[in-house]
Chains A and B, each alone.
Chain A
Amino acid sequence: MDWFNKLIDTYPVFLKGMLLTFELTVVAIMIGIIIGLFFAFLKISKINILVWLSDAYIFLVRGTPLIVQIFVFYYGLTSLNMSQFMAVVLGLAFHNGAYIAEIFRGSIQSIDHGQMEAGRSLGMSVSLTYRRIILPQALRRAMPPLGNQFIIALKDSSLAAFIGMYELFNVATTFGSNTFDYLTYLLIVAVYYLVLVFLISLLARYAENRLAISD
């Protein structure tokens, strides 16, 4: 019961942390989607230098730890004088952009080439066909892995604690070190993460169903 009492007692602080965690993730994923779409298009452009650029970006992101990327934005690029929030958001966006690029590339390339030909045969330009025909279908297919990526990003945002942001994980460890009772607060923060992830999966499933209405 002690654990439950502490859960109730600390909820105003944890809710604040949860809000910050959520904000970090949502903003980062939104920027990540823009970055991802951009690099996905570079990669399917079949123009050597652009494909190479995209490959290099993905290689760099996948090959280095997220914590290093966040630290580069915050401690490394001090001349940019970024806020903690900005550094974490950019770190997460830069990181997730690479994975989202691969998600978009895969889903765009999974659309039957006949769709492009049908659009072109009706006099539609390549860009119009992408916008009206290919992307709406590709986005639908990208939804499940995007939801997954959102969840990964949410959990990864705990790394913000290491540059001193008072998000969920930091709240838990602070309580833990103040009371010498880490386990209680780690189990409490686990509940918050579980609830957040659960809500996001519901949201993702809702979005999937909405988009899949025609199939």
Chain B
Amino acid sequence: MKEAIMVKVEKLNKSFGDLHVLKDIDMTVREREVVCLIGASGSGKSTLLRCLNFLEIKNSGKIFIGGEQIEEHTHDLNQIRAKVGMVFQHFHLFPHMTVIENIMEAPVHVKKIPKDQAYEEAKELLAKVGLSDKANVYPGKLSGGQKQRVAIARSLAMKPEVMLFDEPTSALDPELVGEVLVTMKKLAQEGMTMIVVTHEMGFAREVADSVIYMHDGRIVEVGHPDQLFHTPTQKRTKDFLDSVL
């Protein structure tokens, strides 16, 4: 029995000026699935992710979220974005708000949820990412790993249907990577649909249901991590894996 399709991309193309960054991307992500995007920097992984959240607007192709085709001109992108959570490499917490205010911001001001309800939900999310004691601290006082966990909680507060992670551990000191990956694993086990751009091959191998290798704006190979990491069918995939593993 297969889950319903959560995200579907057909013949997606994106250029920045003369630079053709995404070339005819086709991709399907089902509910509860964890998909990892791997590839060298400049291969288009992050751009693909940003197109799915409409932070970049595609040049051509189709994007479906939750079975519905999203047209940038006709859809309220704010509503769509609220359904698609995004975690950034550099966290982008709001430095002038406390941790709990960061998490409550969008539920209160976008979804218009009553403050005390938003507060309770934010508390629960903080407990979930293991930072209950940091509710009233400003982001400047947190370590990178803690910041990223707050960013995850902030994103979850909008109750997204799918979460996008853009190299969530790349800006972290090595000893802080683990705590963020543990949080993400927990999320995956709870059945969150996740698309993760990552250089953490260990995480991809352990958690991903499918791994996509991208090179030069194209999807070169898609497969279950066991298959893709051990018996890649494409030479370019094998070369890339040899260089990073």
Contacts and interface: CB of A to CB of B under 8 A. Distances in A.
Interface in B83-108: 84-86, 88, 90, 92-98, 105-106
Given A214-B138, A214-B140, A120 B88 contact: no
A135 B16 CA distance: 29
Contact of B106 (A124, A136, A215): A124
A195 B158 CA distance: 52
B235 interface: no
Contacts of A115: 92, 94
A132 B109 contact: yes
Interface in B44-95: 53, 55, 78-79, 81-82, 84-86, 88, 90, 92-95
Nearest to A140: B96
Interface string A7-48: 000000000000000000000000000000000000000000
Contacts of B138: 214-215
A214 B96 contact: yes
Given A118-B92, A136-B96, A214-B96, A123 B55 contact: no
Nearest to A132: B109
Nearest to A122: B106
B40 interface: no
A16 B126 CA distance: 57
Given A114-B88, A114-B90, A128-B109, A123 B158 contact: yes
A181 interface: no
B191 to A, nearest CB: 22
Q: Interface on chain A toward B: helix, strand, loop, or mixed SS? A: helix
B154 interface: yes
Contact of B155 (A114, A122, A133): A122
A117 B55 contact: yes
Contacts of B84: 121
Interface string B131-167: 0000000101000000000000011001000000000
A2 interface: no
A86 to B, nearest CB: 37
A137 B95 CA distance: 8
A120 B110 contact: no
Interface in A60-96: none
Interface of A: 112, 114-115, 117-118, 120-125, 128, 132-133, 136-137, 140, 214-215
Given A122-B154, A123-B79, A133-B105, 13 more contacts: A115-B94, A117-B55, A117-B88, A118-B94, A120-B55, A120-B81, A121-B53, A121-B85, A121-B155, A122-B110, A132-B105, A214-B96, A214-B140
